[in-house]
C-alpha cells in the first residue's frame, strides 16, 4: 500500500514475537514519550505461542488513538512482519522498536524529529545505546565510542566498522511512502533486517549519530529463545551463509556494485577456516553452496588474502632463522 502523503510525524514499528515478558516495558517507553509531535504505534504480533497478544490487547484498549495492532494468523517471520507494517505506515518518519527492547530517553521522538526537520541533508538520525540482559541488568552502558558521536555515519563507515548503532536508536525518512518495490527488505533475509535497512538508507544519504543514550538493546543468546541472535548461535554456519546471501541480494542496490565483495570474501574465508578445523555445521556440502554466492571475484579475494598471509608467515620464519 502506497500513500500520497504522510498523516502523522512518526510511525513507530513494533514487531512482536514471544515477547510476553518484555513488551509491556517496550510499549510504556513509547507511550510515555514527551513530545509535541504526532505519532502512531504499529504493532505486528507474529502469532506468538506465549501471551504477547493479551498484553498488547490491553494496551490497545487503553490507547486506541495511538495504537494499531495487527495480529498475524500465522507466523510471517521477523522481516516480513516488519515490512507489512512499513506498508501501512503513515508517518513522515519511521522508527523500529522490537518488542523486547525499549527507549530510555523520554524525549527521543522530540529530539530526533526536531533534528531531521532542521537537517534534511541527513536521511536518518541514531544515537548511543545501552545493552541489557534478559533480566534487565545493564551489560554495557554506552556502546559507541565518543569519537563516533555527534557526527555523520557514512556508507564507508558502515563498510569498515559495521553495525555501530542499534536499530532501536534509529529514526529515518519514511522511504516506504515512495512508489517503489521494497520487498527486498524481507526477501534478503527472513529474520534480520538491519543490514538491508542500512544498505537502502546509506546508499542514498548519511545518518547522524547523537551522543544521548536513547535506547536499551536486550541481548539474549540462549538455546531456548527464539530471537535472531539465539537462532544464529545454534547454527552459526547457516547464519553465515544467510548473511552472504543477503549481501549478494543487496548488491543491485549499491552505487558501487563491488562494495560488498570484501565482506563476502571475509565470511567465506571464516567458513573455510572453521570447516578445515571440523567445526560443527561447517560442511563441504555447505561450502560448495557458499562458493557460488558472490561470484568469482570474492573467491579470488580469498586466494589473494591466503597467499598474502602465507607469504607473511614465510617471511617471518625466514627472519627468525636469520636471527
Going residue by residue through the chain, which has 323 residues, state the pLDDT in tens, using 9 for 90 and above.
444 456 899 999 999 999 999 999 999 999 999 999 999 999 999 999 999 999 999 999 999 999 999 999 999 999 999 999 999 999 999 999 999 999 999 999 999 999 999 999 999 999 999 999 999 999 999 999 999 999 999 999 999 999 899 999 999 999 999 999 999 999 999 999 999 999 999 999 999 999 999 999 998 877 777 777 878 889 999 999 999 999 999 999 999 999 999 999 999 999 999 999 999 999 999 999 998 898 777 878 777 766 555 545 555 554 555 55
- Give the pLDDT score at 1: 41
- Give the pLDDT score at 111: 98
DSSP state for residue 149 in the 8-state scheme: S
Distance, CA of 298 to CA of 291 (rounded, Å): 9
- Give the pLDDT score at 4: 47
What does the angle CA 103 – CA 43 – CA 212 come to, to the nearest 5 degrees? 15
Instruction: State CA 84 to chain mean position distance.
Output: 16
Per the listing, cell 607469504 goes with: 311
Cβ(231)–Cβ(242) below 8 Å: no
Beta strands in 232-276 (DSSP E): none
- Give the pLDDT score at 305: 65
Q: What is the 3-state secondary structure (H, E, C) of 45-60?
A: ECCCCCCHHHHHHHHH
Amino acid at each position: 500500500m502506497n500513500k500520497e502523503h504522510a498523516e502523522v510525524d512518526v510511525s513507530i514499528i513494533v514487531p512482536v514475537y514471544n515477547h510476553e515478558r518484555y513488551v509491556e516495558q517496550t510499549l510504556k517507553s513509547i507511550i510515555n514519550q514527551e513530545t509535541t509531535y504526532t505519532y502512531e504505534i504499529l504493532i505486528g504480533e507474529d502469532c506468538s505461542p506465549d501471551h504477547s497478544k493479551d498484553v498488547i490487547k490491553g494496551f490497545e484498549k487503553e490507547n486506541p488513538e495511538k495504537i494499531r495492532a495487527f495480529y498475524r494468523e500465522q507466523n510471517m517471520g521477523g522481516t516480513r512482519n516488519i515490512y507489512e507494517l512499513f506498508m501501512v505506515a503513515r508517518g513522515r518518519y519511521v522508527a523500529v522498536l522490537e518488542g523486547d527492547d525499549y527507549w530510555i530517553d523520554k524525549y527521543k521522538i522530540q529530539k530526533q524529529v526536531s533534528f531531521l526537520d532542521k537537517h534534511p541533508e541527513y536521511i536518518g538520525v541514531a544515537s548511543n545505546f545501552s545493552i541489557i540482559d534478559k533480566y534487565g541488568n545493564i551489560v554495557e552502558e554506552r556502546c559507541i565510542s565518543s569519537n563516533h558521536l555527534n557526527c555523520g555515519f557514512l556508507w564507508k563507515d558502515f563498510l569498515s566498522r559495521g553495525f555501530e548503532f542499534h536499530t532501536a536508536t534509529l529514526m529515518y525518512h519514511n522511504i516506504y511512502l515512495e512508489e517503489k518495490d521494497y520487498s527486498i527488505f524481507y526477501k534478503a533475509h527472513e529474520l534480520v533486517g538491519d543490514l538491508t535497512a542500512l544498505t537502502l538508507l546509506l546508499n542514498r544519504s548519511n545518518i547522524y549519530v547523537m551522543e544521548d543514550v536513547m535506547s536499551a538493546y536486550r541481548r539474549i543468546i540462549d538455546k531456548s529463545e527464539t530471537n535472531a541472535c539465539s537462532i544464529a548461535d545454534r547454527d552459526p554456519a547457516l547464519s553465515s551463509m544467510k548473511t552472504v546471501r543477503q549481501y549478494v541480494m543487496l548488491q543491485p542496490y549499491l552505487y558501487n556494485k563491488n562494495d560488498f565483495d570484501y565482506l563476502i570474501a571475509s565470511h567465506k574465508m571464516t567458513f573455510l577456516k572453521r570447516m578445515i578445523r571440523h567445526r560443527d555445521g561447517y560442511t563441504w556440502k555447505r561450502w560448495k553452496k557458499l562458493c557460488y554466492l558472490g561470484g568469482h571475484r570474492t573467491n579470488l579475494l580469498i586466494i589473494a588474502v591466503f597467499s598474502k598471509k602465507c607469504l607473511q608467515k614465510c617471511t617471518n620464519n625466514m627472519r627468525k632463522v636469520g636471527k
